[in-house]
Each structure stands twice: as C-alpha cells, then as structure tokens.
Amino acid sequence: MIKLNTRLKASKLLLYVCIMIWILAFNVYIYCYHSESISDTIINIIDTTNQQLNSYKEDEDNSFESFSTQDVPSNVHKTLDASILELTPIKLYHQQYLNDSRNLPPSFSQNYETMFNLIDSKSDSPDFYHILSNLDFSNRCQLYFENLFVNNQNWFINPFERISANRFNYEYDYWRRNNYRFLQKQYNKQHRNDEDREIQNQEEFDQFIKDKYKEFMLFISIDEQKSLNFLSHLRIFNKCYLSVNNIKQQNSIKSFLQHQKHFVKIAPTLELKEDEVKHNENQDQKENDNKNEDNNNNKNDNENINNKIRKKSVKLNPASDCSFLEQRLYPWLSFHYPVFEKWTGEIELSPPKFKNSNAAKTNPSTESQYGSCFLNKFRKSLSGKGIVLTIGDKHVDDTINLIALLRALQNTLPIQIVYYDNLSGNSKSRIVRAAREVRRDMPESFDQVRDQFSNDYDRGLPKQEVYFVNTYSVIHENYKSKFDGYGNKLLATVFNTFEEFILIDADSVLLKNPEWFFQNNKYKSSGALFYKDRTTMQIRPPSDAYFFKKMSPSVLDAIIFDIPLITSKTLELDAMQGMFHFMEAGVVVIDKTRHFNSILLLPQLNFMEAFRDRSHGEKELFWLSFIVNGDEDFTFNKYHAAAAGQASGEKIKLNGQIRISKEICSAHPAHVDDETNELIWFNSGFHFCGKYDKVDYKKDLESQGGRYKPGITTVEELRSYYFDPIQIETVIIPPFNGKDNLFVPNGENEPSRSWDMIGGLCDGYVWCAYSDIGSKDRTQSGTVIEIDEQDQKLFQFYGDIWVGNE
C-alpha cells in the first residue's frame, strides 16, 4: 500500500512538473512570437475596444441610431494631440519645406503621440532636433514600430474589423434633413410620447438633434482615425522594410537626412524671423551657452534618446523585425507562394523565371537584414514582362477569344492566368488548346489586310506561353472569404510574378501588340498607366475627397519618413473634384519593381468598407492605393472613355434643321491614345452586344429606334447584328468641362449630356455618346475621330478572329 501511495505521489509530481513546463513553454512562445506564421491565438485577438465598437454598428446602413456617447469606451478614442504639430521644429520644417495644399485639420497616426511623449511633446525639447539631425532612417523605423506595442502588445491589422463608410452624412443640414423622421421618433420615445407626435418644444428638439449629430460625428472620427492609423502603419512598414535595399530609395533617404541636419543648423535663424525681438535679447547668451554645451550634448544626446526609448517601448530583434511585423500588418497572408502550372502540366511551387526586363538595383548589404521577409522574397522573385488575366470558369469563352486575338496581334509575351481555386481542368485544357494548337487558317477578312503583316503569318499564328497561377495557398485559412468577386483581380495584381505587367479583363480587346503599351511614353516616365472611365452624371459628395485626402500621408509621415504629401496632381483629379466614375480598369499597365509598395495596399483598401463604398467595384482602388502610399508617380491617359462604332444617321429636327451633334450607341467603352489619337483598346468583347444570349430581342428591336443601323427591322436581323463583331467606323470622345457642366439644358433638341443610356438596350450595356451638347450659344464639343479604311479592315479582321468567324 505504501509503495502504491508513493507511486501515486510520484505520478502526481511528474504530472505537475509537465504541466508547469508546458505553461512555461507556451508563455515563452507567446512572448517571443517569432514563428513562421501568426498563431491562431494572436490571429483571432480582437481587443475589447473593437468588440464594443463593432457591436454598436450592426445596422447594414451604419446609421447613427445605434450610437450613444454613453457607450463610447473611455479607452477607444481621445482627441488627437494637435499640439504636436505646434512644436517649433515641426512647425518650422513644415512652413519652410512642405507644401501641404490639402486644407485639412491636423491628422496623423496616433502612434506618433506615443513616440513624441518619449521626448516630451509639451515643450520644444532639443531632443527632437536631435532626432532630425542624428537618428538614422532605420532607428526611426524601429522607434515607430516598437511604440505600437506600448499601448497594446497584441495589436494587428484585422481584415474583419468593420470600419464604416458614412459617406453622405458629414454636412449637418443634410444629416438633419435626411434623418429628421427618425430623430423625431427617437425624441418622442425618450419623452414617452407617441412616435409620430408633432414636436411641442422645438428649441429642445433642436438641441436634441445637435447632440445626436455630435455623437454621430464622434463615431465618424473614431472610424476615420482607425483607418488612418492602419494605413500609416502599412505605408511606413512598406517603406522601412520592403524597399529599404533599393539603391534609389537609399540615395533619396541619404539626401533627406542630410537636408534635415542642415535644417537643424539653420533652425535658430528661422526662429529669429518668427520672434526677432525675443531672440535678439538672448542671442549672445545663447551663443555662449551653445559653445560650452555643444560637446557634451553631442556626446550624450544619442544615449539619452535611446534610454528613453528602451524605457517605454518593447524591444524587437532588428534582424527579424521585417518578418515579425509583416505577420501583424498582413495577417491575411499565409506566407506561401501561389502554385504555378505551366501549359505542359508541370507544377512549380516557386515563381517561374522570365527574361529580366527592369530589375530594380538593390544593395546586397541590406539583403541579410530584411531579406527573410516573405514579401521581400516575393519581390525579389519577380522577373520579366507579361500579360495577366484573372478568370473563373464563367470567363473561359472570353479568355479563349482574347488569346486568339493576342495570337493575331503576334504577341510573344508570357501570359499568367491567375485564379482562386475556381478553374476546372476542362477550362485549363480548352485554354491550352487555344494557346498552343497550330493555326494557319484565317477568316476571309484577312485577305484585305495581308499586306499589313509579315510573312510569319504564313507559318501560322504564334503559340502563347501560358501559366496558371492558383492563389488559394497565398491566403491564410482565416481570411479566404475576403477575396470573393473582384478580390481575385486584386490578388492577380499583387501575386502575378512579372516585374512589368499588363492586367487585362477577359472581355477587353487590345488593338495593339501588348509591347506597344510598355513603350508608351507616359508609362515609361511613370511606370503606371491608367485609363479614364465614361463621364457619366454620377457625382461624389464632398466628403469623399475629404476622406481620400485625410487617408493620404500626413505631415509627420513626410517629416520623419520622407513619405511625400499628395500635391495638386492628385487634388485636381476628376475624382477628387466630384466625379464618381473616374478610372476604367479593363487594362492596367504597371511596373511592379517601381510600385510594389503601392500595389500591396490594394487588398488592404478592399478590406475597408470606407474605401469599398467609395469605389464602383475595384477600379478606383488602383489609383487610391497609390495616393494613400504617397506615390503620385502614375499617369492617366488624357482622354476619357469614348464610344466606338457607327455614327447614327443625321436626325431632322421638328423645324427642319439638321442636328449638330453626332451620336454613337455602343456597349463598348473605348480608349484613344492621347499622343497618337489612335483607338488602342475597348471593353466588353468584340460582339456588338456581349450579352447577346440574355437579351429580350423583341423589346430591344422596339427600343433601339434605328440607332444602330438603318434597315434592321426583324428580330433575326437584330440577333445577327448583336452577335457579329462591332463595326468601327467612328469614335466619339464626348465633351467634358468638369462636373459642374455635365448637364447643359437647351430647347433646341440637342443632347443635354455627354452620355445617355437608352432603354436598357443589350441588357443595359448600351450607352449613347454625343459629340456636342447644349444649345448653339453654350455648345460643348468633344472629339470625333473617323477611322480610315485600312484600319476599319484591320479591326474587321481582329473582330472575326475574336468571335471565331470563318
């Protein structure tokens, strides 16, 4: 019995020891947190603040009714400490060297408050001058991210965190008018009255509305500040750790730091200009004191600053900061490459290598420190130029047609077809056949353009080099649901492996060899070429532009990290002036080696409702990801989208006069190069109506009213017209004189707007464009381009190739 008890005691002791060892090991693991991927414990952390805020926002429209200032947790939000911007060195630097034309109230990441508290932000501490003159760039990066842990060691950017949009409710008068009935019910409920009872005490009710408006604006400010915090963390991390070894950036930062050292030396002179009398009285004494103290200050300043940092921050291991931080900032990544499948069926688990075209020059000395980052490894793996498509099974027919057209255009660039685990084996086989099978037979229309092509055509159309890229493995298991719909296109932008790429929608139609886009002067100068959308009547509220400006880099981002402020180039974009539809993303041309950091922000913006609600699909997110990264090195083709097709016949007005404006009704937004005035691409396929299989032909026949082509009188004729390639004879770029001149009323039977959708033709895809709008004394004129006969024949050939005509 004694032996048995002894064994039991020994077993218990062993069990307790094992438990203690396990607990200790677990805590060490959590503390270190340097594993290859974030543990589920950390991934699923949502702090109490976020839980409380999200519980207030369950209504789909994010209306203010679920908010109450009594419910706001005290630790959620404090007024931004704008006094930081009043520190003498910051104020002087801002006034002398930064041109901030955004016209915003103070806005910056709240993490700067923690940083600045380390150096006593309530006084003009000489320590801050020391930061500008002596802390190198890597130390500034370290300081910023270490101090994120001061308030919350478990911080991370949560893609599921709901940050609401509240687009239309900034203006008090609009907000009051739009919510008056609800406010009335709330007021009566509070006073135990009938919900629809007329207000008896208007003065009290007005005050009630003002109080509710303050509550509503408080939550807007909380959401906007949270968005700004997240974006600041991302852009600073990207610059600090993902492009730090780029020689061009290193040279720029070196110049930036030298400039700041010079600023510190001349700062007393700048202060003298602000307060000459005060400084004159003390100048001699200051000079004597400075002479005596300079040596001691220079010796001790760095140690003092570092002591303060060590005291209040969480120390990281510099060699692993990049990998450690990217897990917090990009938790949706699995940190694995996509799966690559060559047209031969060969599977590769790492990016294929293509002929290099524009590899960024890097400094090998920084590779060992930052190269262990997954995103750095991926950036380094990029190579060559190519074409990128993003499709699912439903897009295969359009993809096959596009590949046939690329072969006719004699494309030699590789193609990566990026998908999200939703492309069947049958679809892949069909695409490979379209890309690789020998094709020498040409449609009859080729005979009219044979002399425009080389003799290579007699040997058949060039085979295409196709890779299938499955991005499913790229996304962490917890976040796979975040990439439905057009999220695939964002993944294709980020995870194609080309240094330079053209992203093409499956139903986009190129009329130039893809290499032409890489040779475009605007692309070569900026490394990013975008195209504009139709100038339709949909307008943005002023709050959109305000939000975009607020989310862009702050004055402190510029001073501490040399992240540029946006300038008039961005502020004067049509979208910032109120146009809702601005960019058309059917063709996007980007040099990823120049804009890798901006591209990484694309999925992040898509996670944020405040950005999604301000974009029609993904298209505006492209240029927005650039400006929130402080990257204005992109260009838009000058012309807005055009209509391409056949101009309607002259229309006789009631008084017998001929109508001035020409009209083209088309389902294809088209794009004209602003240097050559050539039609270069259009969207929605080559069929006249890309939705020809969904159309109510009888209804369309009655509605089109002869707009398409004279003589179409039967359903069969209309069906044939819808299926056949669009006949391109004329292109109209409608007039656009800013959002305030979109509608020009007149009584002369001329069009009053540049674009009009007529009767929902072609399943709602047909828009009619006008060359002139307004009465004779207020006419706005666009651009009309008549396609010459040879190009008409060429487009006919391309159209026959695309639709598969014999």
Give every CB contact of residue 598 below 8 A, 6+ residues apart in sequence. Answer: 625, 626, 629, 631
Give every CB contact of residue 616 below 8 A, 6+ residues apart in sequence. Answer: 580, 581
Within 10 angstroms of residue 746's Cβ, the number of other Cβ atoms is 15
Is 526:589 a contact under the CB 8 Å cutoff?
no
Give every CB contact of residue 274 below 8 A, 6+ residues apart in sequence. Answer: 92
Instruction: Please state, in angstroms and rounded to a whole number, the distance separating the CA atoms of residues 724 and 722.
Output: 6
User: By C-alpha distance, which of 173, 149, 177, 169 is closest to 223?
Assistant: 169
Q: How far is CA 630 from the centre of its chain?
A: 12
Instruction: Please state, in angstroms and rounded to a whole number, the distance separating the CA atoms of residues 73 and 627.
Output: 32
Q: Which DSSP category does 659 fall into? A: P
Instruction: Please state, in angstroms and rounded to a whole number, the distance separating the CA atoms of residues 470 and 417.
Output: 8
User: By C-alpha distance, which of 737, 731, 729 is closest to 779?
Assistant: 737
Give every CB contact of residue 691 below 8 A, 6+ residues apart in sequence. Answer: 667, 762, 763, 765
Instruction: Please state, in angstroms and rounded to a whole number, the distance separating the CA atoms of residues 399 and 431.
Output: 7
What single string gives the DSSP state of each residue in 262-287? HHHHHHHHHHHHHSHHHHHHHHHHHH
> For residue 550, what are the CA distances in angstroms to 96, 570, 628?
22, 13, 9
Q: Which DSSP category does 313 fall into? A: S
Ramachandran angles phi, psi of 160, nearest 5°: -90, -5
Is 551:223 a contact under the CB 8 Å cutoff?
no
Q: How far is CA 538 from the centre of its chain?
A: 21
- Which strand ranges, in their side-by-side order, compose the sheet holding 730-733? 509-510, 679-682, 669-672, 642-645, 730-733, 783-786
Q: Which DSSP category does 200 fall into? A: S
> For residue 489, what are the CA distances in angstroms to 321, 389, 686?
30, 8, 22
Residue 366 CB-density burial (10 A; 0-12 exposed, 13-18 middle, 19+ buried): middle
Instruction: Please state, in angstroms and rounded to a whole number, the distance separating the CA atoms of residues 466 and 399.
Output: 12
User: By C-alpha distance, which of 690, 670, 697 is closest to 795?
Assistant: 670
Q: What is the pTM of this model?
A: 0.84
User: By C-alpha distance, which of 371, 410, 347, 101 is closest to 242?
Assistant: 371
Both structure tokens of 171: 């203006």
User: By C-alpha distance, which of 214, 226, 196, 278 is closest to 68?
Assistant: 214
Instruction: Please state, in angstroms and rounded to a whole number, the distance separating the CA atoms of residues 667 and 690.
Output: 8
Decide: helix, strand or coil at residue 379.
Answer: helix
User: By C-alpha distance, which of 423, 352, 419 is closest to 390?
Assistant: 419
Is 534:767 a contact under the CB 8 Å cutoff?
yes
Task: Give strand pairing partners of 681.
Answer: 510, 671
Ramachandran angles phi, psi of 105, nearest 5°: -70, 165
Question: Tens of pLDDT along 3-61?
Answer: 444 454 555 556 555 555 554 554 444 334 333 333 332 223 223 223 322 332 333 33
Residue written as token pair 């930081």? 84
Residue written as token pair 């993944």? 491
Instruction: Please state, in angstroms and rounded to a whole number, the distance separating the CA atoms of residues 598 and 582.
Output: 19
CA angle in degrees (0–180, nearest 5) for 207-209-213: 115
Decide: helix, strand or coil at residue 500.
Answer: strand
Both structure tokens of 317: 């291991």
Strands 642-645 and 635-636: unpaired
H or E, element range at 158:
none
Instruction: Please state, in angstroms and rounded to a whole number, the distance separating the CA atoms of residues 108 and 691.
Output: 47
Predicted local distance difference test score (pLDDT) of residue 35: 33
Both structure tokens of 291: 């002479």
Is 583:200 a contact under the CB 8 Å cutoff?
no
Residue written as token pair 């209306």? 63
Predicted local distance difference test score (pLDDT) of residue 684: 95
588 HSE (CA, 13 A, CB side): 27
Is 515:646 a contact under the CB 8 Å cutoff?
no
- Across 592-699, the runs of DSSP E, i.e. the strands, are 635-636, 642-645, 663-666, 669-672, 679-682
Q: Which DSSP category does 56 fall into? A: T
CA angle in degrees (0–180, nearest 5) for 430-431-437: 85
Q: What is the mean pLDDT of each run of 10 residues along the chain (806 residues)?
A: 47 56 47 35 28 32 36 44 80 88 91 73 56 86 88 89 70 84 89 80 90 86 91 96 82 90 84 42 41 44 49 51 92 96 95 75 56 88 96 94 97 96 94 94 93 82 96 94 86 96 97 97 97 95 92 96 96 96 97 96 93 91 97 97 86 59 93 97 96 91 74 89 94 95 83 88 92 86 96 97 90
Ramachandran angles phi, psi of 464, nearest 5°: -105, 140
Predicted local distance difference test score (pLDDT) of residue 651: 55
> For residue 648, what are the CA distances in angstroms to 595, 666, 671, 751, 771?
43, 11, 20, 14, 12
Is 644:539 a contact under the CB 8 Å cutoff?
no
Rg (CA), the chain: 31
Q: What share of the chain is helix, strand, coil (3-state, %, to 5)?
A: 50, 10, 40
Instruction: Please state, in angstroms and rounded to a whole number, the distance separating the CA atoms of residues 776 and 788.
Output: 30
Decide: helix, strand or coil at residue 333.
Answer: strand
Instruction: Please state, in angstroms and rounded to a whole number, the distance separating the CA atoms of residues 803 and 274.
Output: 72
Helices 789-803/396-408 angle, 10° precision: 140
